[in-house]
Amino acid sequence: MRKALPWILPPLVVVILAALPWFASPTIIQFGISTLILATLSQSWNIIGGYTGYASFGNSVFYGLGIYGTAVAMVQFGLPFWVGMLVGGLLSVVFAVLLGLPVLRLRGHYFAIATLALAQVMSAIVSNVQVAGGNQGLVLPLFRGDKMFYELALGLLVLATLTVFWLSRSRFGFGLISIREDEDAAAVMGVNTTYYKVIAFALSGVFTALAGGIHAYWITFVEPESAFDITLNVKMIIMAVFGGPGSVFGPIVGAFVLQSVSEILATKISSLAGLFFGLVIVVAVVFMPKGLIDLRKRIGRLGWRYFTRNVKENRL
Amino acid sequence: MDLIWQIFLNGIFLGGLYALMALGLALVWGVLNIVNLAHGAFIMLGAYACYYLYTGGHIDPFLALPLAMLIIFALGYLIQRFVLNLIVRSAMFTTLLITFGIDVVLTYMAQIIFTADFKTINPPYAGSNFQLFGATVPYVQMFTFVVALAVTVGLSVFLRRARLGRAIRATAQNLTAARLYGVNPRTLYAITFALGAALAGGAGGLYGMVSQINPYIGAPLTAKSFAIAIIGGLDNPLGVIVGGLFLGLVESFTALYIGPTYTSVASFGILVLVLIIRPTGILGRTA
């Protein structure tokens, strides 16, 4: 029974989540949509950041491209929603390949900063483009169907998670992990690092862009500032790292826990919610830098010593 | 012609301030290998410290500057000694995350304490200016530039000549060797980080005299400081001056010839290009 649990539990959770909109209140469904989208974003970041070890701050660019691809296709060209999503996804693949090639050559902090800068550039460019509505943004046709958005977001999250699950046990995924652990060694072992990295970047980008498309049609209003928001990118990273980067379910757990915490805080003590969120990040990073998944695995054996051991490992 | 000269001067003055902003970030990054996302928050806090020393304590803002820097120095020392020292050896994005968390905490605390209203440090001589070969130069802008330059050169001399400065550079090169020569890394890391924070605080005070301040000015300034630190390179404060002036000029001329909405396209576009072509910065040594 214990052995079968990992194979029974995830499908069961998916079925329960899928049935939820028929029982829950509209508020819960809305909270569900935003949480599922964030979980998808964090899971996508996990592909490039958690598995490949490249701390991307440029995933908000993919998100923005997904949002704008969908919005421009629907508003300016009158295309249906699914075509818009495809456009967004395609844009993000093109972006991942074209800019990934030069930028993925950079390592460590330099990659992080370069992608951060790309996000700023894209946001500024989009706010100057007429067809994208400039600074005023675009208004999408209204569609009242929270159930549909919920199921779409859930489906996308399942798809992203299946992809990550495949990564965790495929040759391609092992190639990415070897790049994370030691890129030079991976190259020597015959891993085509450039090819692997660009594919990982593009995979991460597609899911992020599709999530952006869903978000755009759900919110029905897009503007450059929020579409390319860097803090959203930081949120993806925090959720992935909080849950456990480089694991299949870590980012999802992280997203659900942190979203619930900040939702509860926002209703109870709204003025202090942001402050508390920052404190949670600091404390979590100091005492459990490997995330909730690692905590669950090892706390049973170590108890409170788990936290002190983490600190001892990383302090000066 | 006059217009170009005026824009050029504006760019230079802006660039001096930018250089001072980026100096602390480059120092902390180069020595501790921490990319401090809370750097902008220190700039913001420095600006508020200066503001309250001037409006509450009636100290001339330029004289209040060292005091403000001292306050931010103490804050930076505590943060490194009791928080950041705990995670120095962990993975790279852990340090990014924790400094982001600190940034969030500082920003929200500022919002609660100082409110979100815009404030300006407005000394009585704020409006006065003089003519320089046909261009208008406000006194405040010029003082700001001179102070920024003096602090930058001072830091450069300090790192080269002073005992503590040499210890900092030695730690940047090889922590183990520095330890063997009697450097206490816990204190030294804290002092270096505090120095970086104090420089940011000083830049913030000057920023408050030429621009408006609110609790949210930090994040974009952090991004700009990155750009400058990358363009100038991490191993030499004088490189940061060049990076700052360069960015100041690029922004002023882009605003004039292409349009003010394109300034960040230009500055961050250049940052990406520099990273791709020469990751050690324009003046930095090749790795």
Q: How many residues does chain A have?
A: 316
Q: Cα distance from B180 to chain A (closest Cα, Å)?
A: 15
- Percentage above 70 pLDDT, chain B: 97
Query: To which residue do tokens 């978000």 refer?
Result: A215
What confidence score (pLDDT) does residue B196 get?
95
pLDDT at A214: 94
Instruction: Answer yes or no: is pLDDT of B287 > 50.
Output: no
What mean pLDDT, rounded, does chain A reach? 88
Predicted local distance difference test score (pLDDT) of residue B52: 94
- Count of CB atoms within 10 A of residue B21's CB? 29
- Determine contact: B78 vs chain A, CB below 8 A: no
Local confidence band at A2 (pLDDT 50, 70, 90 cut-offs): low
B251 touches chain A (CB under 8 A): no
By the CB < 8 Å criterion, does B216 face chain A? Answer: no
Residue A47 and residue A203 in contact, taking contact as beta carbons nearer than 8 Å = yes
B94 contacts in chain A (CB < 8 Å): 241, 285, 289, 314
* d(CA A88, nearest CA chain B) in Å: 22
Give the percent of chain A with pLDDT over 70.
Answer: 99
| Nearest chain A residue (CA) to B89 | A314
Q: Which residues of A touch B108 (CB under 8 A)?
A: 272, 274-275, 278
Torsion angles phi and psi, residue B73, rounded to 5: -60, -45
To the nearest whole Å, the CA of B2 is away from the closest chain A CA by 29
Query: Who has greater pLDDT, B92 or A177?
Result: A177
If pLDDT is split at 50, 70 and 90, which confidence band does B284 have?
Answer: low
Residue B282 has pLDDT above 70, yes or no: no
Radius of gyration of chain A (CA): 20
A220: left (phi over 0), alpha (psi -120 to 50) or beta: left
Percent pLDDT > 90 in chain B is 39
Query: Is B279 inside a domain boundary?
Result: no
**pLDDT at residue B280 in the model:** 65
Please answer yes or no on whether B93 and A241 come within 8 Å at the CB atom.
yes
Domain segments of chain A: what residues? 26-268, 270-316
Q: What is the mean pLDDT of chain B?
A: 87
The predicted structure's pLDDT at residue A248: 92
The boundaries of the domain holding residue B74 are: 9-130+137-217
Q: What is the pLDDT of residue A227?
A: 86
Using the Cβ of B273 and the Cβ atoms of chain A, whether some distance falls under 8 Å is answered with no
> What is the tally of structural domains in chain B?
1
Q: Which of residues 158-187 of B touch A (CB under 8 A)?
A: 185-186
Instruction: Note whether residue B183 is domain-resident.
Output: yes
Most confident residue range from A143-147, A211-215, B250-254? A211-215
| Residue B278 forms part of a structural domain | no
**B108 interface with A at CB cutoff 8 Å:** yes
For A124-159, the pLDDT digits (tens) are 888 888 878 777 888 888 887 888 999 999 999 999
Q: Is residue B122 one of the residues assigned to a domain?
A: yes
Contact (Cβ atoms closer than 8 angstroms) between residue A232 and residue A276: no
| pTM as predicted | 0.85
Task: Give CATH for domain A26-268.
Answer: 1.10.3470
Q: Which residues of B240-270 are buried (b: 16+ CB within 10 A; e: fewer)?
A: bbbbbbbbbbbbbbbbeeeeeebbbbbbbbb
Work out the minimum CA distance from B99 to partner chain A, whole angstroms.
Answer: 8
**Do B86 and A311 count as a contact with CB atoms less than 8 A apart?**
yes
Q: Which of A62-71, A79-88, A144-153, B84-93 has the lowest mean pLDDT?
A: B84-93
Q: Which of A175-184, A231-240, B73-82, B159-168 has the lowest mean pLDDT?
A: A231-240
pLDDT of A268 reads: 77
Nearest to B102 among A112, A230, A282 (CB): A282
pLDDT of the residue at B281: 62
- Contact with chain A for residue B265, Cβ under 8 A: yes
Please check whether residue B275 touches A, CB under 8 A.
Answer: yes
d(Cα B171, Cα A96) in Å, to the nearest integer? 38
Which of A109, A110, A261 should we substitute to test contact with B (largest number of B Cβ atoms within 10 Å)?
A109
In the predicted model, is pLDDT for residue A257 greater than 80?
yes
Question: At B86, is the secondary structure helix, strand, or coil?
Answer: helix
What is the reported pLDDT for A275?
84
Q: Are A312 and A266 in contact, with CB atoms under 8 Å apart?
A: no
Nearest CA in chain B to A56: B93
Mark yes or no for CB contact A102/B226 under 8 Å.
Answer: no
Q: What whole-number distance in Å separates Cα of residue B242 and Cα of residue B232?
A: 6
State the smallest CA–CA distance between residue A68 and chain B in angstroms: 18
pLDDT at residue B234 is higher than 80: no
**Residue B80's closest CA among B185, B199, B237?**
B185
Helix (H) or strand (E) holding B69, with range, is: helix B61-82
Q: B266, B249 in Cβ contact below 8 A?
A: no
Tokens of A226: 């929020």
Chain B residues touching A286 at Cβ < 8 A: 83, 86-87, 98
Residue A90 to residue A70: CA distance in whole angstroms: 11
Lookup: tokens for A199: 């594919």
CB proximity B189 to A under 8 Å: yes
SS3 B216: coil
Q: Write the residue in B185, B189, B223 that is nearest to A116 by C-beta.
A: B223
What average pLDDT does the segment A2-25 reach? 85
Q: Which residues of chain B make contact with A103, given a CB cutoff of 8 A?
A: 272, 275-276
Which residues touch A24 (CB under 8 Å, ≥6 apart)? A32
Contact between residue A207 and residue A163 where contact means Cβ atoms under 8 Å apart: yes
The stretches of chain A forming alpha helices (DSSP H) are 5-19, 26-45, 59-75, 81-103, 108-126, 146-168, 171-181, 183-188, 193-219, 224-227, 230-243, 250-268, 270-287, 291-302, 305-314
Q: State the complex-level ipTM.
A: 0.82
SS3 annotation, B122-165: CCCCCCCEEEECCEEEEHHHHHHHHHHHHHHHHHHHHHHHCHHH
By Cβ distance, the residue of A124, A230, A278 closest to B104 is: A278
Q: What's the CA gap between B99 and B102, in Å, rounded?
A: 5
Structural domain includes residue B52: yes
Query: A260 CA to chain B: closest CA distance, Å?
Result: 18
- For residue B220, what is the nearest residue in chain A, using CA coordinates? A120
Query: What is the distance between the terminal CA atoms of chain A, rounded to a whole angstrom?
Result: 44
| pLDDT on residue B206 | 92
Asked whether residue B78 is assigned to any structural domain, the reply reads yes
Whether B65 contacts B198, CB under 8 Å: no
- What pLDDT is stored for residue B283 in this prediction? 60
User: CB B223 to CB A125 under 8 A?
Assistant: no
pLDDT tens sequence across B36-64: 989 999 999 999 999 999 998 888 988 99
| Contact flag A105-B101 (C-beta cutoff 8 Å) | no
What does the alpha-carbon distance between residue A2 and residue A74 come to, in Å, rounded to a whole number? 49
How many Cβ pairs within 8 Å bridge chains A and B? Answer: 141
Query: What is the model's pLDDT at position B48?
Result: 96
The alpha-carbon gap from A301 to the nearest alpha carbon of chain B, in Å, equals 22
Minimal-distance CA residue of chain A relative to B86: A315
Contact state of A315 with B103 under an 8 Å Cβ cutoff: no
Residue B72's pLDDT is: 96
Measured distance CA(B128)–CA(B124) in Å, rounded = 9
Residue ranges of B 83-102 with Cβ closer than 8 A to chain A: 83, 85-94, 96-98, 100-102
Task: Select the more confidently predicted residue: A73 or A129.
Answer: A73
Q: For chain A, say whether B5 makes contact (Cβ under 8 Å).
A: no
Say how far apart CA B42 and CA A44 lie, in whole Å.
Answer: 32
Please state the length of chain B. 287
Q: Say which range, A264-273, B13-22, B169-178, has the weakest mean pLDDT.
A: A264-273
